[in-house]
A and B are shown apart, each in its own frame.
Chain A
Amino acid sequence: MTKRKAPPDPMELLALYRMMLMVRRSEERLMGLFADGDVPGFIHLGIGQEAVPVGVMSGLGPQDTIASTHRGHGHALAKGLSLEGFFAELLGKDTGLCRGRGGSMHVADMSTGMLGANGIVGAGLSIALGSALAHKTLNRDSISVAFFGDGALAEGLAHECLNMAALLKLPLLFVCENNGWSEFSPTSRQIAFTLEGLSQAYGIPYHSVDGNDVEVVAASVAPLIAGIRQGGGPIVVECHTNRVRGHFEGDAQKYRDADELARLPEADPLRVAGKRLADLGINAAHLEQVAAEVDEAIEAAVSLARQSDLPVFSAAAADVYTVEQVL
């Protein structure tokens, strides 16, 4: 499954490029904000992996749901979260999508079907499984997508979810973002099987996709999503991509060899899509214009977030349960 759509629509590809750039520049902005101490906690960046969320999300609508991971900024923005609410959340502000209670690892937006980043490796698969069950039970036309890393395949929960999705024939797309690493360990030291073999064992169709080419990702998942929507049952897509930054911001990646790191720029999804756009006649000036617009939107969101109020402790404490306990 490495075919692109022919003939390509430059405007469609440009829209994907713009979203990837939005994700990239947002994360680059976060790097600075994090270094300055404006973003509390820790953040996991998906720089180098943008083609996966953007490509997959191009096939989804607002009625579709996704469950994300600790490396979820791309999923969030590509699913349509407001940039303002996103930055405010990561800066720990009351105007954040989660009112400053979740931060990077728990950013969510129910109104766009983004059921949350997740601090627990593998947990998103079961959230997406349940969401797919809801879509099916309530006869919705929606599908659910589980994003997860290669490392999550070592969690027993992932296996339970694959099995149950197959048994119940749920409208669920499993998207493995295989970046070759799980924290500081290569996939080869974590996973004794292939996802292809595993999918086969569960009787789930499997597709391997170049996760650095957004056009390929989008064109590959579109028919799969259509099939799932029509009741065809779950599908596994493995997107091969690269984690460019450390596991978390501040990880110097001493454990990666220079050769591997040197190969990364060539596979950069923005570079791949940019070259393709150039071939299709979109000139550099046009892309610079896109970048300027993206940066402007990000700056506006960051400055709004900076000016926003801090969360109120009593409001947070009052939101543990839905109904205030009246005893």
Chain B
Amino acid sequence: MAILSFSRAINKALSDMMDLDPAVILLGEDIANAGGSFGATRGLLDRFGGHRVIDTPISEAAIAGAAVGAAMSGLRPVVEIMFMDFSTLVMDALVNQAAKARFMFGAQCSVPMVLRTPHGGGLNAGPQHSQCLEAWFAHVPGLKVVVPSDAASAYALLRSAIADPDPVIFVENKALYAAKMEVPDDLALSLGRARLARQGKDATVVAYGAAVHWALEAAARLAEKQIDIEVVDLLSVQPWDEEMVLTSLAKTHRLVVAHEAVEAFGVGAEIVARMADIGFDELDGPIVRVGAPFMPVPFARSLEESFRPDADRIVNAVLRTLE
């Protein structure tokens, strides 16, 4: 047990897995000498050497494509893409190669690679350094998508992601990097499992990443009004824990889904659609989504503040479904 920030937790997971398995290597821009744009790989070059912690040129497509070929040839590459916005440039490697290799080659191989990338706003980084694009990847059969909500889940899930035989997109919310907490060494989390972040009886809020914290803040505020909400921290977006969400819905009969990503065509839409189907009989109110408006992430502090979802919006959404 140690008190670690989210980014130190990532660092520890990488280093633990590299200790365990010589096939684990790191690839990315400025990850070796500089230790990564958010410091997540700091110190790993010294510990593991330049043949396992590799600074690459600014060639996202080749980095990701090489990770696929390396994963098919005995390595377990962990790629860092500096901002999730740049994942537009790795789409072919992920969507057409990594996601399909196992299937289209008749299960002759799997592609044990992880692509780590930070998403989210709050840094006034503007339209091309702030997006949450996880829904794109969740839409592709063959990919897994994980979004931890704190240092402990980041540590446990990154180890699981690296150990996983299939390609995993591991999304790190930038606003969480500095947050510290106790991280148990032995915490194990399986991909695809959610976590009950708060028990409650009046409504369920399903969230992931930074939105989990907004949901917990909303819960505290609603508690003052004698409204007791349950918060499900999804942790994995693909596959997602349908069973836990349904169980919670069956208990509270009201559902809100919240995420930082743009609301339209997002992860929330999928959860809502599934629950409207398999959970139809349990619903006593409309399912309400909370997400960013349908526009690029703006730069100015005031604009970005208005853009990003927050606890207030979740409070309002809960009140709506309880109306």
In residues 151-176 of chain A, which contact B (Cβ within 8 Å)? 156-157, 160-161, 163-164, 167-168
CA distance A159 to B96 in the complex (A): 19
B96 CB to closest chain A CB (Å) equals 5
Q: Is A82 an interface residue (CB 8 A)?
A: no
A264 at the B interface (CB under 8 A): no
Contact mask for chain B residues 98-121; partner A; CB cutoff 8 A; 1 contact, 0 none? 000111111111100000000000
A97-B108, A98-B105, A120-B92 known; A130+B65 contact, CB < 8 A: yes
- B239 adjacent to chain A (CB < 8 Å): yes
Contact among A108, A157, A168 for B105, CB-based, below 8 A? A108
A327 close to B241 (CB less than 8 A): yes
Tell me if A120 and B74 are in contact (CB < 8 A): no
Question: How many residues of chain B have a CB within 8 Å of chain A?
Answer: 51
Contact with B along A77-101 (1 / 0, CB 8 A): 0000000000000000000111111
Instruction: Contacts A98-B108, A119-B96, A323-B165 given; indicate if A157 touches B61 (C-beta within 8 A).
Output: yes
Asked if A194 is at the interface (CB within 8 A of a chain B CB), the reply is: no
Partner of A123, one of B51, B97, B107, B109: B97
Q: Are A97 and B96 interface neighbours, CB within 8 A?
A: no
Given A98-B106, A130-B68, A327-B239, answer yes or no on A123-B93 (Cβ-Cβ < 8 Å).
Answer: yes
Chain A hits for B109, CB < 8 A: 110
With A119-B96, A123-B97, A157-B62 known as contacts, the answer to whether A128 contacts B102 (CB < 8 A) is: no
Interface: B193 (CB within 8 A): yes
Q: Answer whether A116 and B92 are a contact pair too, CB < 8 Å, given A130-B77, A164-B66, A167-B57.
A: no
- Known contacts A157-B65, A160-B57, A164-B59; is A106 also within 8 Å of B97 by CB? no
Chain B residues, CB < 8 A from A213: none
Which A residues lie within 8 Å of B181 (CB)? none
Tell me, yes or no, whether A316 is within 8 Å of chain B by CB.
Answer: yes
User: Is the Cβ of B103 less than 8 Å from the Cβ of A319?
Assistant: yes
In the bound complex, CA of A320 to CA of B104 (Å): 9
B201 interfacial contact with A, CB 8 Å: no
Q: How far is the CB of A95 from chain B (nearest CB, A)?
A: 10
CB distance from B234 to the nearest CB of A (A): 12
CA distance A160 to B66 in the complex (A): 11
Minimum CB–CB distance for A140 against chain B, Å:
8
Is B69 a contact partner of A126 (Cβ separation < 8 A)? yes
B72 touching A120, Cβ below 8 Å:
no
The answer to whether the Cβ of A50 comes within 8 Å of any Cβ in the partner chain is no
- Which residues 98-145 of A have a CB within 8 angstroms of B? 98-102, 106, 108-111, 115-116, 118-120, 123, 125-138, 144
B72 pairs with A164, CB closer than 8 A: no
Shortest Cβ gap from B163 to chain A (Å) = 11
Chain B hits for A120, CB < 8 A: 92, 96-97
**A321 at interface (Cβ–Cβ under 8 A)?**
yes
Q: How far is the CA of A4 from the CA of B193 in the complex (A)?
A: 62
- Residues in B with CB closer than 8 Å to A101 are 103-106
Contacts of A327 in B (CB 8 A): 192-193, 239, 241-243
A81 to B258, CA, bound (A): 50
0 or 1 for each of B225-269: is its CB under 8 Å from A? (1 = yes): 000000000000001011100000000000000000000000000
**Does A156 contact B61, Cβ atoms closer than 8 Å?**
yes
Taken residue by residue from 64 to 89, chain B's Cβ proximity to chain A (1 for < 8 Å, 0 otherwise) reads as: 11111111111101000000000000
Q: Is A289 in the interface zone, CB < 8 Å from B?
A: no
A49, CB-defined interface residue at 8 Å: no
Q: Nearest CB to that of A94 among chain B residues? A: B106
Q: A319 with B107: in contact, given A127-B97, A129-B65, A167-B57 (CB under 8 Å)? A: yes
> B103-145 toward A: CB 8 Å interface, digit per residue (1/0)?
1111111100000000000000000000000000000011010
Rounded to whole angstroms, the CA-CA distance of A156 and B106 in the bound complex is: 30
> How many angstroms from the CA of A320 to the CA of B107 in the assembled complex?
8
| Residue numbers in A under 8 Å from B102 (CB-CB) | 319-322
Closest to A139 in B: B51
Q: Which single residue of chain A is at the shortest CB-CB distance from B89?
A: A156
CA distance A176 to B74 in the complex (A): 26
- Are B106 and A102 touching (Cβ within 8 A)? yes
The reply to whether B73 and A130 form a contact with Cβ atoms under 8 Å apart is yes
* Complex CA–CA separation, A115 to B97 (angstroms): 11
- Are B75's CB and A137's CB within 8 A? yes
Q: Which of B25, B64, B165 contacts A137 (CB 8 A)?
A: B25
B105 and A110 contact, CB distance less than 8 A = yes
A307 interface residue (CB < 8 Å to B): no
Chain A residues whose CB sits within 8 angstroms of the CB of B63 once the complex forms: 164
CB-CB under 8 A from A319, the residues of chain B are 102-103, 106-107
Is B67's CB under 8 angstroms from A130's CB?
A: yes
A156 to B92, CA, bound (A): 12
Q: Are B62 and A325 in contact, with the CB atoms below 8 A?
A: no
Whether A30 sits at the interface, judged by CB under 8 Å, is: no
In angstroms, how far is the closest chain B Cβ from the Cβ of A114?
10
The residue on B at minimum CB distance from A100 is B106
Of all chain A residues, which has the CB nearest B73?
Answer: A134
B166 within 8 A of A: yes
A67 and B142 within 8 A (CB): no
A220 on the interface (CB 8 Å rule)? no
Which residue of the partner chain, among B66, B93, B101, B243, contacts A133 with CB atoms under 8 Å? B66
Q: A108-B104, A161-B62 are in contact. List 14 more A-B contacts (CB 8 A).
A: A109-B108, A123-B97, A127-B69, A127-B72, A129-B65, A130-B77, A132-B69, A133-B75, A137-B75, A161-B65, A320-B141, A320-B142, A322-B164, A322-B166
Q: List 5 A-B contacts (CB under 8 A).
A: A131-B69, A157-B62, A160-B59, A164-B63, A322-B166
Report which A residues bind B (CB closer than 8 A). Answer: 65, 67, 96-102, 106, 108-111, 115-116, 118-120, 123, 125-138, 144, 156-157, 160-161, 163-164, 167-168, 316, 319-323, 325, 327
